[in-house]
Structure 1
Amino acid sequence: MAILDAPPPKSSPGPGAKAVRTIGELLITAGLIVLLFVVYELYVTDLFSAQKQASATAGLDDQWSQSRELHPELIDGKAFAKLYIPSFGADYHFTIQEGTDQAALEIGPGHYKGTALPGEPGNFAVAGHRVGKGAPFNDLDLLSSCDAIVVETQTDFFVYRVLPHSDEIANWATGKGKQPQCAKVSTLRTSAPDGGPYGQTFGREVVSPNEVDEVAPVPHHLTDVLPAAQQVALLTLTTCHPQFSDRQRLIVHAVLTNQFPKTPGATYAQLLQAIGEA
């Protein structure tokens, strides 16, 4: 009987192969950690924020039904108004909290403390997340000039409309500005060579994160260039840009076009019919 030769002993991997395998395992582990983090940021934080938003909405509704204070005190992290964007669908609505710290923005959009209040002259400025934590401003870049943005307080509905974009300014009066929904929207420019105090204000802007003058009473001016009585009532929404990055800031400026005092039984649906957005 022939005796088969024994197989040669397996050689152990050298140091180089071990290093490559170790690095590969570390990369796979790191990839899994990153994937879990992305899932957490995109989906888990949305669930947490949805619960906080629902609680904030219920609390605000209860406050409005019981309180007789027409101008309640603003409390950090507490809701005081509601935000609607009709072009984003009938189910788009968020409470607005006082403050823009992490705790407030985990609930929903937050009001820059010290900026104007809804309907007031100046700049009512609101920040919101674009990815995760409810992502209330995820689609902010889809807003067009003259799109309506509605803010509800205990006493009123305030309707703002997005200002002309930079490429619409020159032909606004003879172009889109003639459309019915743009009837109360102007470029805010004067005859001055630089366009006046609002000569740098557009419906959509992308700026660096360290530019804070976008939420000034008159955007792009940190000094008082106009007395309060002459300031336009603006709404400014800010969020990160581009998506999944905080490298820049996306800014949307809108101007107050209508104010509707809330009568008993008044609803948001009735408001949409009144402003032609139903």
Structure 2
Amino acid sequence: MRTVGEIFITLGLVVLLFVVYELYITNWMSAKLQREANADLDSQWSNERELHTDPIDGKAFARIYIPSFGADWSFTIQQGVDAAALEVGPGHYKSTAMPGEPGNFGVAGHRVGKGAPFNDLDLLASCDAVVIETADSFYVYRVLPMQDEVAGWAQNQGSDPRCADVAPLQDTQGAYDQTFGRVIVTPDRGDAVSPVPYKANETMPESDLAALMTLTTCHPQFSDRERMIIHTVLTNQYAKEQGANYADLLREIGEA
């Protein structure tokens, strides 16, 4: 019994050390990498010759902001979703659209450890803003209606000023009949970031594609059994004026 007890104590210590490493040490390491990525991105954007270069694998090319998570919540977005890229912050699925383009701009991020940028994605509600900053523009996306909100959208949330440019895609595009603000799927549903979500084989002219951004993360918290998918739609694009910053944009879109 004494030996068994010692084994359990040892296993408990190992588990405790793993939790400390996963929740604290990896967060600290990722925070350092994120600071470096932010500095590199500022340097890149200050060099006009580099404003329109294609993203480099593993390097930051944009920033993501979620106003409802606080005015100081922001992360760089790296090109790619491999382990090294996601250790720095959210990563762009390279096969998906770029910010502002028709189709689906797909972004993945950790929910626990390694900075946990997408820890609170489950708190996002329909019409909440998600802002993407590139070298020359701010793109404002808003969370699409949830499945249980679609039927009464116009009479309920649709009257909210923040929802002025948000409507169920099912009303206008039958191909998007599975695209809602929040969807929980199994890990094999890589088609969540297809141009038309969940329909990898859907073909339509680019002019008919909605301009979407899809955020993906593990679900539930502390597990990778499923994936949480947040679908948003582009509502505004603002060219970055000289001296303009994110705080100015928040006042412009009524999120300050």
Cα offset for 1:72? 1.2
**Corresponding residue of 1:228:** 206
1:55-102, CA deviations, whole angstroms, 9 ceiling, x for partnerless residues? 000000000001334421211110000000000001100000000000
Answer yes or no: is the 8 Å Cα contact 1:197–1:225 preserved in 2: no
Q: How far does residue 225 in structure 1 lie from its aligned partner after superposition?
A: 2.9
Alignment partners' CA distance in 1, 2:247 and 2:156: 30
Q: Deviations over 1:133-188 (max 9, x none)?
A: 00000000000000000000001000000000011000001111111000000101
1:135 matched to 2:116? The reply is yes
**Could you tell me how far apart the structure 2 residues matched to 1:167 and 1:259 are?**
29
Tell whether 2:162 aligns with 1:181. Answer: yes
Cα separation, 2, equivalents of 1:167 and 1:224: 25
Aligned residues of 2:111 and 2:217 also touching (Cα < 8 A): yes
Q: Please give the alpha-carbon distance, in whole angstroms, between the structure 2 residues aligned to 1:109 and 1:69.
A: 22
In the superposition, the TM-score normalised over structure 1's length comes to 0.90
Structure 1 stretches of 4+ with a deviation exceeding 6 A read none
Bigger proportion of residues as helix: 2
Asked whether the 8 Å contact 1:70–1:154 carries over to 2, the reply is yes
In the alignment, is the contact (CA less than 8 A) between 1:121 and 1:229 conserved in 2? yes
Matched, 1:160 2:141: yes
Partner of 1:9: none
TM-score (norm 2): 0.98
**2:44 is the alignment partner of 1:63:** yes
Corresponding residue to 1:203 among 162, 181, 202: 181
SS of residue paired to 2:174: coil
Matched, 1:33 2:14: yes
| 2:121 and 2:230 in contact (8 A); partners too | yes
SS in 1 for 2:113: coil
Is this contact kept in 1: 2:140–2:235, CA < 8 A?
Answer: yes
Unaligned runs of 5+ in 2: none
Where does structure 1 lack aligned partners over 5 or more consecutive residues?
1-19
Q: 1:23 corresponds to which residue?
A: 4
Give 1:238's aligned residue. Answer: 216
SS in 1 for 2:49: coil
Offset at residue 224 of structure 1 (A): 3.1
Q: CA deviation at 1:190?
A: 3.7
Measure, in 1, the Cα distance between the counterparts of 2:148 and 2:17. 41
Q: Secondary structure at the match of 2:111?
A: coil
**Partner residue in 1 for 2:88:** 107
**1:151 aligns to 2:132 (yes or no):** yes
Q: Distance in 2 between matches of 1:92 and 1:189?
A: 31
Cα distance in 1 for partners of 2:13, 2:48 equals: 50
**1:275 CA displacement:** 0.2
Contact 1:111 1:125 in 2 (8 A): yes
**Cα distance, 1:267 vs structure 2:** 0.6
- 2:33, 2:147 → 1: CA distance? 37
One-letter amino acid matched to 2:154: A
Q: Give 1:226 shift.
A: 1.8
Contact preservation (8 Å) 1:159, 1:259: yes
SS at match of 1:49: helix
Q: How many residue pairs are counted as aligned between the two chains? A: 256
SS, match of residue 106 in structure 1: helix
Work out the percentage of aligned pairs sharing the same amino acid: 64
Query: In the alignment, what sits opposite 2:65?
Result: 84
Q: 2:237 aligned to 259, 269, 278, which one?
A: 259
Aligned counterpart for 1:269 among listed residues 242, 247, 255: 247
Distance 2:131 2:73 in 1: 11
Partner of 1:125: 106
Q: What is the CA deviation profile of residues 193-235 of structure 1, one whole-angstrom value per residue up to 9, with x for unaligned ones?
A: xx61111100001000011110000101111332212100000
Name the structure 2 match of 1:45.
26
